[in-house]
Amino acid sequence: MNLRVLGCSGGIGKGSSTTSMLLDDDILIDAGTGVSNLTLDELVKIKHIFVTHSHLDHIALIPFLIDTVGCLREFPLIVHAIPPTLEAIQKHLFNWEIWPDFTKIPNGENPYLTYKSLAIGNEVDLEGRKITPLPANHVVPAVGFRLDSGMASLVFTGDTTTNDALWVEVNKIQNLKYLIIEVAFCNAKKDIAMRSKHLCPSMLAEELEKLEQEVEIFITHLRQGEADLTMQEIERCAGRFNSRRLMSNQIFEF
């Protein structure tokens, strides 16, 4: 399996795109503004989108993607998410007011877009590529994902704050190689992190103490203007874990 980071920033701006990763050439993990970094030929190949939660920085490019490639595809694009996330996308996005309902275009029998419901712990097997939703703790219903090639696994936490349930599952993964975990705020904004159910460096350090695996750790969702400060604070608070900053265009093979 090959995972390419399309976007991993907490916001937008030149050189910054929000969360999206491309698994092989046909599966998106979230669909933030990073999707715009793909060519048309790459967009057409996408068959599945696995969504962690309904916030715009993780779903913003789904409408533009389906509008761009729907008529160029033979089969519908499938959005996979837990039921509350699917409900939010249907109710607030593809509702004919914000964007057309592509589950009914060109018609209900042959739509450009379909939905499939996920459940935490229930594995989805796509041609030997196993994707399992993991518990997340956010202000809206959310999940992370385990991506398992058979030889090795990568865990992406999605947006989450302190979350004992996640570590119970992560510590069961015997072939875990990579962990991508969010840190959205610096320590001076810990109160905002707590209210919005994100992590800051001091909270990350407490969470990583629950990790019982030897893995490579990468930090995502850093905010512009304070990313360097936040990484410095992570080094001070959790230096023994050797966490590194996740970068756009970074590729993981596992």
Q: What is the mean pLDDT of residues 142-159?
A: 98
The set of residues, in sequence order, having a beta carbon less than 8 Å from that of 215 and lying 6+ positions away, is 176, 177, 178, 179
What pLDDT does residue 186 have?
Answer: 98
Mean pLDDT, all residues of the chain: 97
Q: What is the mean pLDDT of residues 14-34?
A: 97
Supply 56's token pair: 């715009």
Going 178 to 220 to 122 to 110, the CA torsion angle's sign is: negative
Taking alpha carbons only, the member of 27, 54, 32 closest to residue 43 is: 27
CATH classification of the domain holding 207: 3.60.15.10
Domain that includes residue 69, residue range: 2-253
Band (pLDDT 50/70/90 cuts) for residue 211 is: very high
User: Is 219 exposed, middle or buried, given 0-12, 13-18 or 19+ CB atoms closer than 10 A?
Assistant: buried
What pLDDT does residue 178 have?
Answer: 98
Q: What is the mean pLDDT of residues 50-54?
A: 98
What does the alpha-carbon distance between residue 178 and residue 89 come to, in Å, rounded to a whole number?
A: 29
What pLDDT does residue 113 have?
Answer: 98
| Segments of 24-168 assigned E as strands | 27-31, 48-50, 77-81, 113-117, 124-126, 129-135, 143-148, 153-156
Secondary structure (3-state) at 68? helix
Q: What is the pLDDT of residues 94-123, one digit of tens each?
A: 999 999 999 999 999 999 999 999 999 999
Looking at the 3D structure of the chain, how many domains does it have? 1
The set of residues, in sequence order, having a beta carbon less than 8 Å from that of 234 and lying 6+ positions away, is 183, 201, 204, 205, 219, 243
Band (pLDDT 50/70/90 cuts) for residue 222 is: very high
Range with the poorest average pLDDT among 83-87, 106-110, 129-133, 190-194 = 106-110
DSSP code per residue over 206-224: HHHTT--S--EEEEE-BPT
